[in-house]
DNA sequence: ATGGTAGGTGCCCTA
C-alpha cells in the first residue's frame, strides 16, 4: 500500500502535472494540500476517470485540503481544528478513514514571522490539532497525519540552520508544539526510517533554491505507534520538483510511504 | 547586488 502527501500549490494550476504523476506512481491514498479550490471546483471527475475517489475541504483562493484514494474515504470530518483566523475560514484539515487507516490531511499555517499574529495562530492551530488527535487516538488505532507542517523538526531538516535563526519553521515554540503531538504516540516516520538522511521536501521558487540544494523538510507523515510497524519505506520524490513535459512543479515534492 | 518566483485575484496578497 502506498500513501502520499503533497502540497500542490494550486490544484487548478497543477492538475495535468498531478494526474501524470498519479498515473505513474499509483498511490492508494493521496493527501493534498493547498488545492486553492472551492469544493464545487474540485476535479472529482478527473480523478474518478483514473480510478480515484476524492474528499475535499476548500474555500477557494487559499488553503484547501483533500484525500484522494482508490478505496472510498469514510467517516469524513472537515475542520475540527482552529479553522478561523480573525473570523476568516481557513480550510486546513480533513480526515477520512481509508482501508482501516484514519487519514488526516493537514496544512499547518505558515506563521509569516515570529512577531506576526499569524504565528500565534499557527501555535493555536497546532494546539487544537493536538486536542483533536488526542480524541482520535481513543477512537482509532491506525492513524496517519500527513501534510505540510511548515515546521522543520530539527536542524538537519534545514539546508543552512544559520540562515534561519529567528525565523519561523525552526523556532523552539513550533518544534515543541510538534513534539507535543508526537508525545501522544506518533512517530515522524521519514526521520524514523532514515535517521541520517537529508531529504528536503520544499525549495523556494526564488533564486534557483532547488538547484542549489537550499531546501527544508517540512512535509511530514506522523503515524501512530500501532501503524509504524507496517511502514517499510518513506522517501521524497525530488523528481516531482523538476519541470517536466506535464508542466511546472509545485514548490513542494511528494512524500511517499510504502506500507505492508 | 539586500534581490528573486509562482499562484491566486484583480492593479496587491500569500507563500
- For A33-92, write each residue's pLDDT tens digit: 999 999 999 999 999 999 999 999 999 999 999 999 999 999 999 988 988 999 999 999
Closest CA relative to residue A51, chosen from A75, A76, A19: A19
pLDDT at A80: 82
Catalytic residue flag (residue A188): no
Catalytic residue flag (residue A116): no
The answer to whether A248 CB is within 7 Å of strand B is yes
- What residue numbers bound the domain in which A177 lies? 2-259
Closest CA relative to residue A255, chosen from A230, A238, A231, A232: A238
Domains held by chain A: number: 1
Closest CA relative to residue A136, chosen from A103, A90, A169: A103
Considering all nucleic acid strands, name the nucleotide whose C1' atom is nearest to the C-alpha of residue A252: B15
* Parts of chain A with a pLDDT under 50: none
Interior/surface letters A186-217, b for 16+ CB within 10 angstroms, e for the rest: bbbbbbebeeeeebbbbbeeeeebbeeebbbb
The answer to whether A36 CB is within 7 Å of strand B is yes
Distance from C-alpha of A80 to C-alpha of A73, rounded to nearest angstrom: 17
The answer to whether A88 CB is within 7 Å of strand B is no
pLDDT at A79: 83
Residues in chain A, overall count: 260
A28, A93, A104, A148: which one is catalytic? A148
**Under a CB-based contact definition with an 8 Å cutoff, are residues A123 and A85 in contact?**
no
- A 46-75, residues with C-beta < 7 Å of strand B: 60-62
Q: Which residues contact A251 (CB under 8 A, 6 or more apart)?
A: A7, A9, A202, A203, A204, A205, A241
- CATH number of the structural domain spanning residue A199: 3.60.10.10
Amino acid at each position: 500500500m502506498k500513501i502520499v502527501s503533497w502540497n500542490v500549490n494550486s490544484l487548478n494550476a497543477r492538475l495535468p502535472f498531478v494526474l501524470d504523476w498519479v498515473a505513474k506512481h499509483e498511490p492508494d491514498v493521496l493527501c493534498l494540500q493547498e488545492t486553492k479550490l472551492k469544493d464545487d471546483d474540485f476535479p472529482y471527475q478527473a480523478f474518478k476517470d483514473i480510478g480515484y475517489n476524492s474528499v475535499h475541504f476548500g474555500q477557494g483562493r487559499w488553503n484547501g485540503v483533500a484525500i484522494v484514494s482508490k478505496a472510498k474515504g469514510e467517516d469524513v470530518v472537515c475542520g475540527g481544528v482552529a479553522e478561523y483566523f480573525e473570523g476568516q475560514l481557513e480550510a486546513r484539515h480533513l480526515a477520512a478513514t481509508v482501508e482501516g487507516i484514519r487519514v488526516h490531511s493537514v496544512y499547518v499555517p505558515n506563521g509569516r514571522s515570529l512577531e506576526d499574529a499569524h504565528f500565534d495562530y499557527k501555535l493555536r492551530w497546532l494546539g487544537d490539532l493536538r486536542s483533536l488527535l488526542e480524541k482520535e487516538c481513543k477512537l482509532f488505532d491506525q492513524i496517519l497525519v500527513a501534510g505540510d507542517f511548515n515546521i522543520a523538526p530539527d536542524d538537519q531538516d534545514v539546508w543552512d540552520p544559520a540562515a534561519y535563526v529567528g525565523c519561523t519553521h525552526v523556532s523552539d515554540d513550533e518544534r515543541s508544539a510538534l513534539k507535543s503531538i508526537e508525545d501522544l504516540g506518533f512517530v515522524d516516520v521519514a526521520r524514523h526510517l532514515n535517521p541520517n538522511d537529508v531529504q528536503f521536501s520544499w525549495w523556494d521558487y526564488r533564486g534557483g533554491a532547488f538547484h542549489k540544494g537550499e531546501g527544508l523538510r517540512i512535509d511530514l507523515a506522523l503515524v501512530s505507534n500501532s501503524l509504524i510497524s507496517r511502514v517499510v519505506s518513506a522517501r521524497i520524490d525530488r523528481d516531482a520538483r523538476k519541470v517536466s513535459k506535464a508542466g511546472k512543479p509545485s514548490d513542494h515534492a511528494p512524500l511517499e510511504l510504502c506500507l505492508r
